[in-house]
Structure 1
């Protein structure tokens, strides 16, 4: 490998930092330039709605590497800088000051941003979104005991913040357009579990509700008006209706994009000199046999090793199963696999749902395990992965029986 080669990484989050790390670990001795739009060192985002909001972790605790690491590993980290355009023919990215930066290989790790639906009043003071450390800090400042928070969206971030707010003594209302929380991720059976969890902790849940406007007074949010006319009073509003992948740079460059940047199993885009990792990567998954884009921490953490190998011309593929986790009140959960609503035939539960100590399994055709979720039951993720990757039919009765070890199901 010629030391004169330059690899550029666009995106200064976890995926970008880990791509730089993986390149050095794989003995790339050329130049690495890491462009980060934020002014902070790259950091992990899950704590923004978990430990940071809970007051258990400061930014330094979830910063990927401290400043000395980039200097010691000869990574040219440019904070407050990102690519404004990409010229694939010239192998150049354009920077905000109008200059260009040449590359031999390029990694796109541009991540995603909060969706901002066109709700009247959504730009008022007191309306919060959650994607950056500044937004998390601003939200924390609004969660005073006795104050009222309305959360628009009952997805992972919305529910995690709702839980942390209740722990702080905040009066919480959650508004969701779907009939249940997490319906697209978990289906109705497990969505009900999370609805009951939050009701037990005093959250006022409004399902199948349409938000008409965020009401304001003197430019500050005062509540949320629903289409049916009800007004939910609020001192603060959190809009948590999903994330939007930052694919504009890829689209401008003419890369194949369809809901995300299309990549193969090796994370190569439609341009052989460009890879994509993290939230934006819509990968043809070699195990699942379908194209999937996952907006979770595990991809940003683990995909960079494959992307780095691909950039270096080494054979590699990303075969990890989708994985995510959450902590809400006294419920800790891990999910592995892929079983979107409408994509599975049945659900099998082993354990006690009422005590929230169980493992749930989503089964497809011929009783093959597609995904599993352990709730307050630990050290079973590897066994669940084995059931999924085996691709063999299981006996649902044995799967539901806690006396049958998971490693003896097949």
Structure 2
């Protein structure tokens, strides 16, 4: 009986066309193709894989430099290779360091042939988890985009319209509030703002959706706009006002996108079986819980243990040793989205959970951690607890998670 030959596939992914290479377990190039990025090209790829023994029971593993695309629609193992790692492997095959797409496809296939055990395949998440990931990441991007445009608008208003910033401070997250946007649209310059009457201000607040406290707010805004402020020359002020209106259009679009995506996340996330467990943790709401699920997925075999998830999140420290020197530092290579969600999660948990607050205070007082280090340590503990609860289908239990007296509580 002959030995079974193992086949590995590498795909150099581009915008319009892709290069495919197949090698056997001896490194022999079996086939190469140049395919297009459409249904016809995808069919050529599937036919090529099937020609060399690809089946649903024994799919040929594929290495590629992207974690997205139509290949994820199947059940085969797809390995997303970091481009920096692929570049290091390329030096094994060519010392000239010149890049070629067919050569890169061959390099990717050989990465699986030699070091498949050192790379992780894409998780086998459910369709619902992947859909939530799309929505949660898009909502996070929209939120960041909204804040970036709001910062640009704030910087511009400081140049010629400081009274608008004072008016925005009346409300929390002022520049993103519909009331402030309506007022800026009605009065794009401080000169025009000073001319607004009480009736005009009340009308603008009503258009923004306000129903209570309209008269008091209108009076307060009128006093702010009619106070003494420094002014730019009239022509410059008008030009800056037009620039502000252009930024305001972008901000309104970003606010609408963030709100619409947040609503979509709020509809999709509670449908997931893991939502109940995730939402039982203090500090995690619909939006933040969806971001956590989006990054860890629902494939229970993705992480071998809680330590793997902690390393992936960047919450656990890493020890580097060289000779007689060793250093314990935080991780720089991590899932940045999950790490950012963990920062917000631990910050909220400090006030939402007595046990989390006690843990944070102990890290500050007894271990001498700075705020960021203590907060990261709390995140490290809680994400380990989340891993345990998800694996065993349990809800968060304060007494089990933090079995020590809370702040201000005297032990019996």
Give 1 or 2: higher helix fraction. Answer: 2
State if a TM-score over 0.5 links the two structures. Answer: no
Q: Give me the TM-score of the superposition, normalised by structure 2.
A: 0.30
Q: Give me the TM-score of the superposition, normalised by structure 1.
A: 0.30
Indicate the structure (1 or 2) with the bigger Cα radius of gyration. 2
